[in-house]
Structure 1
Amino acid sequence: MEDAALPSRIRTRDRTIQTTLSPLGNDAMSENPTRTISATVLHAFSMAILQIQRLAQECTVSDFHGSALDELRKLIAFDKAWWGRSALIEGLPVRHSSHLFELPVDFLQDWESIRTEDVTIQLNRATPGRTVWVDSRNSSPGLDWLGKRHDIGDFICISLPHHQTQLVDHLTLYRTSRASQFNHTDRLLLDAAMPHLNAAVTTNQIQTFKSRRGTLMERSNLALAVCDKQGVLYSAEDGFLDLLLTEWPKWRGPKLPDQLRQPSYKGENCEVQTDPVDDLLLVILRKQSPVDSLSSRESEVALRFADGSTYKEIAQELKVAPSTVRHHIRSIYTKLGVNDKARFAQLMHPLLTEVYP
């Protein structure tokens, strides 16, 4: 992707950066003025981005957006925010995920009722990756009503299209009607910050994979991914798509098969477990093994036998007769399709390392 989110011309001069803005929006700020950003502001920007990257590593998915916006507010003053991802259907956004900051949950319903009057949509489509400015009091009747209902004066908004998923990431920062208006520096900073914010979201999701993987008993032959509640894939571990294609060879994305949004699903080649994480879904896809065909008692016997226990030792531990253990071993070999202990141990090794690390 080209650096559309960055100012069109940047050069250093006497510890400042001079930037020429392209015309955006329909306000007085669209006269293409030149503005400078001080070294102090640039340092603050760098520190804020570093802190947001750290938060991406440390926060849960549920907490990250709020924590990141708290940090962003130290760089760009704002009172409220809406950070989300949408699909454009017939020119209008359809929400896939939303994170509200200092706004009530009914804000989204109120916005839905006036979205056809939201001039921001067309401005963002015309200038993807560039921040637009809107004064809700002087735009459309719908935005004026929304502003009065939620104490919004002016706001700045940026959107970044995601070509793989056909979705759009967007962030809107609001100021109250009593606050001073956003300026060009605010817009430039949001231009530069948005790609970093999107990257931090991906980092945070990957970190969720790592932490969740550590809680799973069976960590081998599986891969994790995050999708929204409509099933659109956001990010995935290496191997997830390869594993998915063994069960759904005709899948082309970006929307995952419907079965992957169910709490659990067992197919011919894979098993799926899906857990809600905030307004997203964590999908755990595991390759099925011949070991999955064993009964619970056979699994108990197989694990002990693979770990080196004798028939007699297994019988004593499970309080059954040695002949019963011998019968289970014969059944296990038949189900696994093996004839010798070497092949049996090879099949059992991944499960054995999980149970007896």
Structure 2
Amino acid sequence: MSLGIASFSRFIAQMNDRVRTEDAEGLARWAVQDLSQTLGFDAAWYGWAQLLPEGVQIYANATVNLPDGFYDYWRTMSDQDLLARSMIENPGQTALYDRKQGRQTDGMVGLSDTFGLAKIITAMHGRPGRVTSFYLSSYRVGATGRAWSEEERDYLQCAVDHLSGAMKLTTTEPGRPNPAGAVTILVNENGMGILGLSALREQMGEIWPSWQGDHLPEQLSRLINLPGQHILPDRDLVVLVDQPPRFQGMGLRRLTLRRLNPVDMLTNREREVARALSDGKSHKEVARLLGLAPATVRNQTQSIYAKLGVDNRANLAAMVNQVRP
């Protein structure tokens, strides 16, 4: 496919459409597959990382058409990664490696020969020392792989930059917007923030006034491997931890944080009754829906009203809807 404004406009238009239906991992996977067809590469390695003076730190990653042991092998020679060194020395520019010419290290030669990676290009959105950024390494395999042109380098860097911006809009579950005032973030299995940390600091930073860096506060880090809803009354906060199956390969977790609402203090059964009543169902309809006696529903309704400090369904619905997605 020829490169140019028409090709790039198509990529951007399709990406913007997918933002509405894909999460960050799905959007990244689609983009890599699309770019592989447009630019003509055989394999790829992508994810989120941070460039540091001493090298690159990978926080979440996935591969396309590479063996399972690729990442483990890279870790053994990461201190000799010429691509990372090039991006540290030349921020904002793509980095190139050619097995047959240019600078070499034993580590790069070993990586190239082990996996047959003849021509490599890496693009990353971000600058050394800044927060975690998205990267994409693309590989042309075999001795006949052609060199990367200047046009291809520019195309890939622009695509990664735009993709990184789009992924900031994909932290929530597709089709389920957050309740008002809620913040959703993506983190890795060690509590390193991947997406959404800026929004969390902006909206809820005062909850942890001494919090600094890109790792979650310790109180949140303890929850990342405990799926489900957690109430933190000392912080006036509710945290929902989710790890969709599609995130497991990259080790990502999704955390949605919102302010504590009196509805959160109801029992599970009371919340079910409250939601059904808020939907306009009668006591008899709620009883049939939940398998309860009508008298039980009436008693629970009185308990719900007392706990929430309301005296009619309109006020109940307003309070329940505050915590609904």
TM-score range, shorter chain: 0.7 to 0.9
Tell me, in whole angstroms, the C-alpha distance in 1 between the residues paired with 2:301 and 2:204. Answer: 32
Unaligned runs of 5+ residues in structure 2 are none
Please list every run of 5 or more consecutive structure 1 residues that lacks an aligned counterpart in the other structure: 1-38
Q: Which amino acid aligns with 1:185?
A: E
Counterparts in 2 of 1:165-184, with a 5 A limit? 166-176=131-141, 177-184=143-150
Write out per-residue CA displacement over residues 4-61 of structure 1, whole angstroms, 9 at most, x where no aligned residue: xxxxxxxxxxxxxxxxxxxxxxxxxxxxxxxxxxx96332233233333334444454
Structure 2 match to 1:211: 175
- 1:346 matched to which residue of 2? 315
Partners of 1:272 and 1:57 lie apart in 2 by: 24
Q: Any conservation in 1 of the 2:279–2:317 contact (CA below 8 Å)?
A: no
Report the alpha carbon displacement of residue 152 of structure 1 after superposing the two structures with TM: 0.6
User: Is 1:113–2:76 an aligned residue pair?
Assistant: yes
Q: What's the counterpart of residue 227 of structure 1?
A: 187
- TM-score, normalization by structure 2: 0.76
Percent identity of the aligned residues? 24
Q: Provide runs of 4+ in structure 1 moved above 6 Å.
A: 303-317, 352-355
Tell me how far apart the structure 1 counterparts of residues 154 and 32 of structure 2 sit (CA, whole Å).
17
Which of residues 194, 198, 204 in structure 1 aligns to 2:160? 194
Q: 1:45 corresponds to which letter in structure 2?
A: F
Give the whole-Å Cα distance in 2 for the aligned partners of 1:233 and 1:129.
Answer: 21
Per the alignment, in what secondary structure is the counterpart of residue 37 of structure 2?
Answer: coil
Whole-Å separation in 1 of the counterparts to 2:202 and 2:54: 34
- The 5-angstrom pairing of residues 1-357 of structure 1 reads 41-89=4-52, 91-138=54-101, 139-161=104-126, 166-176=131-141, 177-203=143-169, 205-206=170-171, 208-213=172-177, 219=179, 222-236=182-196, 241=201, 244-245=204-205, 247-252=207-212, 254-257=214-217, 258-261=221-224, 262-264=226-228, 265-268=230-233, 269-277=236-244, 278=247, 279=250, 280-296=252-268, 298-299=270-271, 318-319=292-293, 325=298, 331-332=303-304, 334-336=306-308, 338=309, 341=311, 346-351=315-320
Q: Could you state the TM-score of these two structures normalised by the residue count of structure 1?
A: 0.70
Count of aligned positions? 307
> Who wins on radius of gyration, i.e. which is larger?
1
Check 1:151–1:249 CA distance in 2 against 1; reply closer, same or farther (3 A cut). same
* Residue-by-residue CA offset, 1:311-348 (whole Å, 9 max, x unaligned): 999999953659x946x566545533x3x626x85355
1:83 alignment partner AA: Y
Relative to structure 1, the CA distance from residue 165 to residue 233 in structure 2 (aligned partners, 3 Å threshold; closer, same or farther) is farther
SS of the equivalent of 1:180 reads coil
Residue 130 (structure 1) shift: 0.9
1:125-184 residue CA offsets vs partner (Å, 9 max, x unmatched) = 111111122113441121111111111112112223268962233221111132122222
* CA positional deviation for 1:351: 1.7
RMSD: 3.9
SS of the counterpart of 2:126? strand
CA distance in 2, matches of 1:301, 1:59: 33
In 2, distance between residues paired with 1:307 and 1:202?
33
